[in-house]
Amino acid sequence: MDSTLLKFTLPALIGLAISATPAAAVEQNCRFIQAKAEREACYKRQEEELAAKRKPAPVTGENKTLESMRQMRQDDDAVYRSINNICRGC
């Protein structure tokens, strides 16, 4: 029983350790860099990476089509509501 547990646990732990290492290498704490120029370059790099992550995805043809269909649906709903308010045969 223990050998079976070891067979599955050891590879899982090794895989976890390997996958966690690049994440730690990417995260860098700029405030501990002594040289001012290097520290400012580090802050600028982090700012650019953060801006790239926050940047919305470019509008593709599929997104544009979906957006136009949604807008048409809203327009249709507004027209249907206004038609229902018309008195028929008062």
Structure tokens at 38: 């290097």
Tens-digit pLDDT profile for the chain (90 aa)? 567 766 777 777 777 667 665 444 445 688 888 899 999 999 999 999 888 888 776 666 677 888 889 999 999 998 888 887 776 665
pLDDT digits (tens, 9 = 90+) for 54-73: 877 666 667 788 888 999 99
User: DSSP assignment, residue 24?
Assistant: H
DSSP state of 58: P
> Sign of the CA dihedral 54, 51, 70, 66?
negative
Query: What is the Cα–Cα distance from 34 to 62, expressed in whole angstroms?
Result: 49
pTM across the whole model:
0.35
Report the greatest alpha carbon distance in the chain: 86
